[in-house]
Amino acid sequence: MMLDKQLYQVIMLTIDAPTPIAIALVGFKVEDTLLSNLKATTQLETTLQVYTGQAEVFRISTLPEALVDRALAQLNQHPSWLSITVTKDTPYVSLQFNLADNLGSQTVITLSEDAEALFADFNSLQFNITAIGLLAVLLATIYAALFSNKISRPLTALATIAKRIAVGDYSQNVAVQSNTKEVNLLSEAFASMQSNIQLREEEIIFQARHDILTSLYNRNHVETLLEQKFLNNDSFLVIGINIFGFRGINDIFGYQNGDFCLKELADRLTKFDGVAARLTGGELLWLPTYEPTAEFTQSLKVTLEAPIDCGDVVINIKVAMGLISCPEDANNAEQVFKRLNIVLDEAQITRKFILPFNAELEERYSRRLSVITELKNTLRHATDELNLHYQPKLDLKIGKVTHVEALIRWTNARLGFVSPEDFIAVAEQAGFIENITSWVIKRAIEDAARFRDANLNVSVAINLSAKDIMNPTLLPIILEVLDTKNLPTDSLSFEITEGDLVKDHDKAIVHLQAFRDKGFELAIDDFGTGYSSMAYLQNLPVNTLKVDKSFVLQLHQRDGDQKIVKTVISLAHSFGMNVVAEGVENIEALKLLADWGCELAQGYYICKPTPADNLIAWCNDNKSTKWL
Ligand code: C2E
Ligand code: MG
Ligand code: MG
């Protein structure tokens, strides 16, 4: 209650004795002491104001006069940390209560707290935290610098090592020393990676340079070695070694034994000083470190050919050796390989087992290649380059020509005349002899029909190769073509070279028998040059032996030839066979043969091979010739 511009706290009490007897009114002047007590109790600055209407009529405060307005202005505010600690525009947080409205005046009490003081501890805490934080960052930075030095140096070293490993340099030790366990682990991992890569690379290099089966060098690597030798202008000998019929060894004894033979041969070869390699299949190459003598090469061959004991079977191998002297015979690796092929082929064909290369071999080889190419072309597109000549066989008993031999002739646009000796064997090896045979059969049967039409009663003898005999479709084809010309089977006969029959004797017998069963005459050609045995002869379903011309050409001069031919004739007769002698070049031979009971004679003395038309004319001209 305002009284005389002073504020009083008034308490009105009823005095009961025991019924109310009086009302006591007690007033206390509200002044600074009261507020101080209040402040002491609440710990808050306290301001008391009294308003009459809008006008403030009384004010006391525990705050200094200057701050009261400010505290009052911050009523009901929610101060932010920023406004307290940084901008400091809210030092007080105040809350205001209206006391009872008394007799037209309104008393208002405002409790204020100095926010700055309130935050003082917090600020110092905040400062400490910031300081500790900064210190931690600083320490961390220093530690990181030290630590990174400890980590990054060995890591950089490892990175350098990794780069070296990448380019294939494994010489450096990878042990990077560090106090850090992880770096040591990494360095150990690097070391084991390096040695593993090195091992694997060595393995890959080994595989790239070696033949897996024999562990000898392979063709690729030996090519590099040869090129190196040529670059250094070295003089050296290359020895090619070829196992005879290696495919046959695989076929007969199985691949496992074939492989075993190769390994054994490789072992034997590596015992000698030099570089050994396997080129393909059964073909090896050896570069001796010194120039071997002829005796040494021979003894090397003997060593290599020692029987190979494969456990379940003992295999006898034969090798052919081709020698190439470099740089005289070849001046680069490609030439070495090419000429090795040539010389090894030749060594096999001619059965000269140790054969040095010479230029003539290559000429023959190239010629053989062009023969193959041209002959294939002729058979496909230009069969008019082929012709058949006929050579009469004279029956010595009746003095008449009863048989003629068909002999192929080939005059090629590029190669000129090529002798059958030069292309028949090549065609056999190259695997297209049956194309020649079918052409010959067709033409020979056509000509046989012409001979019949010209009243020439002769049997046409066709030469067959071993491959033809083994061909099961040949006989039906011959029968069919004969049939189209209405010719009997005795208008054809066949000659087979003796050597060809030995290779697969049993099968050959079956096929020959089929020819005999159809009524064809069969002769063994070039008899005496092969390996005939009595037992073998006895079993062969042939009716004629044709004595090779090498025994006949000089028959009148050579005692030995006479003995052989006489023996062959009596042998043939004892087996019930006829004999034809080819290569009769003079009357003396003809007489001898007739005396010994030889059935037929063929040779230049009687007539050279001649075209079909000439043969008809010749036969007509010689109808009454007395040959003996
Ligand atoms: P061959 O079957 O032994 O034929 C006989 C060869 O001796 C023929 O050589 C013939 O011209 C030759 N000759 C005949 N009489 C005499 C003579 O008195 N003196 C001399 N020095 N030689 C004589 P050609 O025609 O060069 O044939 C050579 C070989 O070619 C033949 O030997 C035969 O094995 C083969 N041949 C020829 N034509 C064919 C054919 O059509 N098919 C097959 N598979 N081989 C054939
Ligand atoms: Mg013949
Ligand atoms: Mg012959």
**pLDDT tens, residue by residue, 237-266:** 999 999 988 988 998 899 999 999 999 999
C-beta atoms surrounding 533 within 10 Å: 9
| Residue 240 and residue 344 in contact, taking contact as beta carbons nearer than 8 Å | yes
For the ranges 208-212, 316-320, 384-388, 428-432, the lowest mean pLDDT is seen at 428-432
Which of these three, 89, 116, 143, is where a domain ends? 116
The verdict on the CB of residue 438 being under 6 Å from ligand 1 is no
CA distance to 216, 218, 254, 263, 528, per residue, from 211 (Å): 5, 5, 20, 11, 45
Are 189 and 272 contained in the same domain?
A: no
Cross-strand partners of 544: 523, 578
First to last CA, the chain: 187
Query: Nearest 10 degrees: CA dihedral of 13, 16, 21, 23?
Result: 0
Q: Which stretch of DSSP H or E encloses residue 526? A: strand 521-527
The rounded Cα 334 to chain-centroid distance in angstroms is 21
The verdict on the CB of residue 408 being under 6 Å from ligand 1 is yes
Q: How far is the CA of 609 from the centre of ligand 1 (A)?
A: 9
Which of these three, 54, 85, 116, is where a domain ends? 116
- Residues sharing a CB contact under 8 Å with residue 450, sequence separation 6 or more, in sequence order: 612, 616
89-142 residue pLDDT tens: 667 888 888 887 777 888 899 998 887 777 788 888 888 999 999 999 999 999
| Residue 28 and residue 8 in contact, taking contact as beta carbons nearer than 8 Å | yes
CA 189/CA 4 separation, integer angstroms: 99
Are 150 and 260 contained in the same domain?
A: no
DSSP summary character for residue 289: S
Amino acid at 134: L
Residue 269 has pLDDT above 80, yes or no: yes
CA 60/CA 109 separation, integer angstroms: 10
The verdict on the CB of residue 582 being under 6 Å from ligand 1 is yes
CA 110/CA 79 separation, integer angstroms: 17
* Number of the ligand 1 atom closest to the C-alpha atom of 548: 3
392-402 residue pLDDT tens: 999 999 999 99
pLDDT of residue 115: 78
Nearest ligand, measured from the Cα of 462: 1
Angle in degrees, CA 121, 126, 128, rounded to 5: 95
Strands (E) in 54-164, as ranges, are: 55-61, 92-102, 105-114
Nearest ligand, measured from the Cα of 390: 1
User: Domain containing 583 — which CATH number?
Assistant: 3.20.20.450
DSSP 3-state of 422: helix
Assigned domain for 626 exists: no
Q: Residue holding tokens 């056999």?
A: 428
Q: Nearest C-alpha to atom 8 of ligand 1 is from which residue?
A: 407
| Residue 99 and residue 86 in contact, taking contact as beta carbons nearer than 8 Å | no
Give the model's confidence band at 434: pLDDT under 50 very low, under 70 low, under 90 confident, else very high: very high
The arithmetic mean of pLDDT across residues 511-519, rounded, is 94
142-168 residue pLDDT tens: 988 887 777 788 888 888 888 988 888
User: Which is more confidently placed, 182 or 302?
Assistant: 302
| Residue 214 and residue 278 in contact, taking contact as beta carbons nearer than 8 Å | yes
Residue 173 has pLDDT above 90, yes or no: no
Of 438, 433, 444, which Cα lies nearest the Cα of 467? 433
Of 224, 222, 263, which Cα lies nearest the Cα of 239? 222
Task: Go through 546-581 and write b for each residue having 16 or more CB atoms within 10 A of its CB, e for each that does not.
Answer: bbbbebbbbbbeeeebbebbbebbebbbeeebbbbb
pLDDT of residue 168: 83
* For the chain, percent of residues with pLDDT exceeding 90: 62
| Residue 462 and residue 444 in contact, taking contact as beta carbons nearer than 8 Å | yes
Give the model's confidence band at 191: pLDDT under 50 very low, under 70 low, under 90 confident, else very high: confident
Angle in degrees, CA 136, 140, 145, rounded to 5: 155
What would the two tokens of residue 484 be?
A: 């189209």
The verdict on the CB of residue 526 being under 6 Å from ligand 1 is yes
Of 176, 178, 173, which Cα lies nearest the Cα of 149? 178
Q: Nearest C-alpha to atom 19 of ligand 1 is from which residue?
A: 583
Which of these three, 155, 175, 208, is where a domain ends? 208
Assigned domain for 14 exists: yes
Assigned domain for 311 exists: yes
pLDDT of residue 504: 75
Assigned domain for 590 exists: yes
C-beta atoms surrounding 367 within 10 Å: 14
Verdict on whether the full-model pTM lies above 0.95: no
The verdict on the CB of residue 604 being under 6 Å from ligand 1 is yes
Assigned domain for 478 exists: yes
| Residue 467 and residue 499 in contact, taking contact as beta carbons nearer than 8 Å | no
The verdict on the CB of residue 547 being under 6 Å from ligand 1 is no
Residue 500 has pLDDT above 70, yes or no: no
7-41 residue pLDDT tens: 888 888 999 988 999 999 898 888 889 889 989 99
Q: Residue holding tokens 């405002």?
A: 110
Are 229 and 141 contained in the same domain?
A: no
* For the chain, percent of residues with pLDDT exceeding 70: 98
Are 311 and 451 contained in the same domain?
A: no
CA 528/CA 497 separation, integer angstroms: 10
CA 517/CA 285 separation, integer angstroms: 51
The verdict on the CB of residue 498 being under 6 Å from ligand 1 is no
User: Domain containing 238 — which CATH number?
Assistant: 3.30.70.270
CA 234/CA 118 separation, integer angstroms: 102
Identify residues whose C-beta is under 5 A from ligand 3, the ion.
525-526
Assigned domain for 39 exists: yes
The verdict on the CB of residue 603 being under 6 Å from ligand 1 is yes
Q: How many domains does the chain have?
A: 4
Are 332 and 405 contained in the same domain?
A: no
Are 72 and 184 contained in the same domain?
A: no
Are 155 and 141 contained in the same domain?
A: yes
Q: Residue 494: which domain range? A: 368-621
Q: Residue holding tokens 């065609």?
A: 427
Q: Residue holding tokens 């206390």?
A: 28
Assigned domain for 213 exists: no
Q: How far is the CA of 353 from the centre of ligand 1 (A)?
A: 28
- Residues sharing a CB contact under 8 Å with residue 34, sequence separation 6 or more, in sequence order: 9, 28
User: Which is more confidently placed, 186 or 232?
Assistant: 232
Are 518 and 578 contained in the same domain?
A: yes
Of 43, 66, 61, which Cα lies nearest the Cα of 113? 43
Helices (H) and strands (E) in the chain, counts: 21, 25
The count of C-alpha atoms lying within 13 angstroms of the C-alpha of 302, restricted to the half-sphere facing its C-beta, is: 6
Which of 387, 462, 549, 605 has the most ligand 1 atoms within 8 A of CB, as the residue to mutate?
549
Give the model's confidence band at 589: pLDDT under 50 very low, under 70 low, under 90 confident, else very high: very high
Give the model's confidence band at 228: pLDDT under 50 very low, under 70 low, under 90 confident, else very high: very high
Q: How far is the CA of 407 from the centre of ligand 1 (A)?
A: 6
The string of DSSP letters for 396-461 reads TTTTEEEEEEEEEEEEETTTEEE-HHHHHHHHHHHT-HHHHHHHHHHHHHHHHHHHHHTT---EEE
Nearest ligand, measured from the Cα of 417: 1
The verdict on the CB of residue 391 being under 6 Å from ligand 1 is yes
φ and ψ at 569, to 5 degrees?
Answer: -60, -45
CA 18/CA 383 separation, integer angstroms: 166
Q: Residue holding tokens 């511009």?
A: 5
Amino acid at 59: R
Assigned domain for 363 exists: no
DSSP 3-state of 8: strand
My answer on whether omega of the bond before 472 falls inside 30° of 0, hence cis, is no
What would the two tokens of residue 86 be?
A: 């940084």
Nearest ligand, measured from the Cα of 468: 1
CA 263/CA 213 separation, integer angstroms: 7
The verdict on the CB of residue 548 being under 6 Å from ligand 1 is no
The arithmetic mean of pLDDT across residues 440-465, rounded, is 96
pLDDT of residue 90: 65
pLDDT of residue 213: 95
Are 178 and 229 contained in the same domain?
A: no
What would the two tokens of residue 280 be?
A: 């393909």
pLDDT of residue 432: 93
Q: How far is the CA of 456 from the centre of ligand 1 (A)?
A: 22
Are 198 and 320 contained in the same domain?
A: no
Are 329 and 274 contained in the same domain?
A: yes
φ and ψ at 322, to 5 degrees?
Answer: -110, 135
Residue 499 has pLDDT above 70, yes or no: no
Q: How far is the CA of 408 from the centre of ligand 1 (A)?
A: 8
- Residues sharing a CB contact under 8 Å with residue 360, sequence separation 6 or more, in sequence order: none
What would the two tokens of residue 518 be?
A: 């159809």
C-beta atoms surrounding 45 within 10 Å: 22
464-498 residue pLDDT tens: 988 898 899 999 999 999 999 999 999 999 999 87
My answer on whether omega of the bond before 327 falls inside 30° of 0, hence cis, is yes
| Residue 176 and residue 191 in contact, taking contact as beta carbons nearer than 8 Å | no
Are 233 and 146 contained in the same domain?
A: no
pLDDT of residue 190: 86
